[in-house]
Amino acid sequence: MPDEAAAARPNLLRALRETAVTALLAFGLFLPLIGFNTVQNIRNELVLETRWPLLFTFVAILAGLRFLYLVVAAPMLAERARTASRPASPATLPSWAIPAVIGFVLVYPLLAMLIAGPGAAKWIDNFGIQILIYVLLGWGLNIVVGLAGLLDLGYVAFYAIGAYTCALLGKNFDLSFWMLLPLAGVLAALWGVLLGFPVLRLRGDYLAVVTLAFGEIIRLVLINWKDVTQGSAGIGGLPRPTFFGLPFNASPDGFAARLGLEFSPLHRPLFLYYIVFAAVVLTAIVIGRLRRLPVGRAWEALREDEIACRSLGINTTNAKLAAFASGAFFGGIAGALFTARQGFISPESVNFSESALILAIVVLGGMGSTVGVAIAAVVIIGGTELLRELAFLKQIFGAEFDPAQYRMLLFGFAMVLIIAWKPRGFIGTREPTLVLKRRKAIDVTLVREGHG
């Protein structure tokens, strides 16, 4: 590679020339869509406006980054590549880390109440409950993608089935939330088998695209079957979880009145937080057990090499269907919890970008790693939620600047960057589920997945 050899010696002239090329390319890239803006004038015709300062800022930033990379970062990276040896054995978490995190999650809403006072609802709901639901979704998809190695781009379908099970059965048959929660999981698992059956023969990219199609079909049916689902308008007023039959409202039969407490709107999110927390803990235990069962080991074998797996007498059909079903089960539970949180569901909540978001959590966290997926859920969901809180940016960039608008933009960009930087996710270790004497984790880059 002549490129790298030259970059090792900081050659200013060469760097300048490359920077100029970059600037030229960036100019061409951004000229049509950044340099010009199409706006409607009073007569509803499209006209062009120019944004030269913005265009030149973009070009300057890209050129500057390229120059810095060539002069500063590239020689450093080349130096490190020369001195670095094999990937060291991965760092393991200290033994107190997981209990500490669980302890923190347990007291988190109380801390939020202590610090934020009455404004804590936002922190418990948007951050706490939402992140925990995504942890659940991430773990569910992790069974399918991370453990069994089946790339599912339509996972949100099971989330939708769980949520709509809750919504429709709750609305039409007056079932309580506690009846609906297991039903949502079971029905979603059933659908997991139904949709898993036709795709047993597929894998890799084809499987991904077919599952994407399934997810889209379910969403389109939810939009168009207006008699049942109320279409894009969605269904509201869904049953909320009750505390042994006591609803969380200000009525004399409510939770607060019966227990002799002062009514507070925080009770409901607090209660829901602990329900979701319990679901997450249970899920972690169940998944931990599943991995040690024959079916869990079959999943991991399936991920590494399907042909070898079949020749060893593992029933790949059953293993795949079990993966789809258990993944879908947790998706359905998460969907039910979502309706309990929102009290409202519409097809808007189950579009493809939601599937991509969950997949990103699994991949960036490290496929197959329970801890990694949880970390990724906190970082990605917490990070994008934080963007909503950056109101101070409005003072810098003007009133019409809305940081939430950049949420998905940054998210897509981060997905590309992180997969390039750490293709195996934050936690890329493979730890054997069964050991003879010594537990020995290896870096995942040393594992070569067989195609199949």
Partner 1 sequence: MEIFVQQLINGITLGSIYGLIAIGYTMVFGIIGMVNFAHGDVFMVSSFIALVALLLLTTWIGIGSIALALVIVLVVSMILTSLVNWAIERVAYRPLRGSFRLAPLISAIGMSIFLSNFVQVAQGPRNKSIPPMFTDVIVVMKGSYDVTVSYKQIAIWLVTAVLLIAFWLLVTRTSLGRAQRACEQDQKMAALLGVDVNRTISITFVIAAALAAVAGTLYLTIYGVVRFDDGFVPGVKAFTAAVLGGIGSLPGAVLGGLLIGVIETLWAEYVSSAYKDVAAFSILAIVMIFLPQGILGRPDVEKV
Stretch that binds partner 1, among 21-29, 81-89, 110-118, 326-334 (CB under 8 A): 21-29
Give the binding-site size for partner 1 (rule: CB under 8 A): 60
Check residue 202 for interaction with partner 1 (CB under 8 A).
yes
Q: Which of 272, 186, 282, 167 is nearest to 229 (CA)?
A: 167
Check residue 32 for interaction with partner 1 (CB under 8 A).
yes
Candidate residues 208, 295, 361, 373; the one interacting with partner 1 per rule CB under 8 A: 208
Check residue 220 for interaction with partner 1 (CB under 8 A).
yes
Q: Report how far residue 186's alpha carbon sits from residue 161's, in angstroms, rounded to the nearest whole number.
A: 10
Check residue 45 for interaction with partner 1 (CB under 8 A).
yes
**Cα separation values, 139 from 120, 146, 286, 445, Å:** 27, 9, 11, 22
Question: 295 with 322: CB under 8 angstroms?
Answer: yes
Residues numbered 236-275 forming contacts with partner 1, rule: CB under 8 A? none
Read off the tokens for 59. 């070009």
Read off the tokens for 299. 């999943």
User: HSE of 312 in the Cβ direction (CA atoms, 13 Å)?
Assistant: 11
Say if strands 344-345 and 235-236 run parallel, antiparallel, or are unpaired. Answer: antiparallel
Check residue 221 for interaction with partner 1 (CB under 8 A).
yes
Read off the tokens for 230. 């109320």
Each residue 347-366 as x (binds partner 1 by CB under 8 A) or -, in order, gives -----xx--x--xx--x---
Check residue 216 for interaction with partner 1 (CB under 8 A).
yes
Q: Which amino acid is at 62?
A: L
At its nearest, how many Å lie between partner 1 and the CB of residue 185? Answer: 25
Candidate residues 182, 236, 237, 423; the one interacting with partner 1 per rule CB under 8 A: 423
Stretch that binds partner 1, among 63-71, 178-186, 415-423, 434-442 (CB under 8 A): 415-423
Q: Report how far residue 338's alpha carbon sits from residue 332's, in angstroms, rounded to the nearest whole number.
A: 10
Candidate residues 409, 434, 435, 436; the one interacting with partner 1 per rule CB under 8 A: 409
Q: Which residues, 6+ apart, have CB-to-CB distance to 92 below 8 Å?
A: 429, 441
User: HSE of 423 in the Cβ direction (CA atoms, 13 Å)?
Assistant: 6
At its nearest, how many Å lie between partner 1 and the CB of residue 22? Answer: 10
Q: Report how far residue 404's alpha carbon sits from residue 427's, in angstroms, rounded to the nearest whole number.
A: 28
Each residue 97-136 as x (binds partner 1 by CB under 8 A) or -, in order, gives ----------------------------------------
Read off the tokens for 389. 């809180």
Q: Report how far residue 375's alpha carbon sits from residue 426's, in angstroms, rounded to the nearest whole number.
A: 8
Check residue 64 for interaction with partner 1 (CB under 8 A).
no
Candidate residues 124, 131, 151, 298; the one interacting with partner 1 per rule CB under 8 A: 151
Stretch that binds partner 1, among 29-37, 168-176, 321-329, 433-441 (CB under 8 A): 29-37
Candidate residues 43, 80, 82, 201; the one interacting with partner 1 per rule CB under 8 A: 201
Dihedrals φ, ψ of 344, to 5°?
Answer: -155, 140
**Cα separation values, 372 from 138, 271, 356, 416, Å:** 10, 27, 17, 18
Q: Which residues, 6+ apart, have CB-to-CB distance to 376 below 8 Å?
A: 138, 360, 361, 362, 364, 365, 366, 425, 426
At its nearest, how many Å lie between partner 1 and the CB of residue 43? Answer: 11
Stretch that binds partner 1, among 30-38, 86-94, 176-184, 271-279 (CB under 8 A): 30-38
Interface with partner 1 (CB under 8 A): 25, 28-29, 31-34, 36-40, 45-48, 151, 153, 198-199, 201-202, 204-206, 208-210, 212-214, 216-217, 220-221, 224, 307, 352-353, 356, 359-360, 363, 405-406, 408-409, 411-416, 419-420, 423-424, 449, 451-452
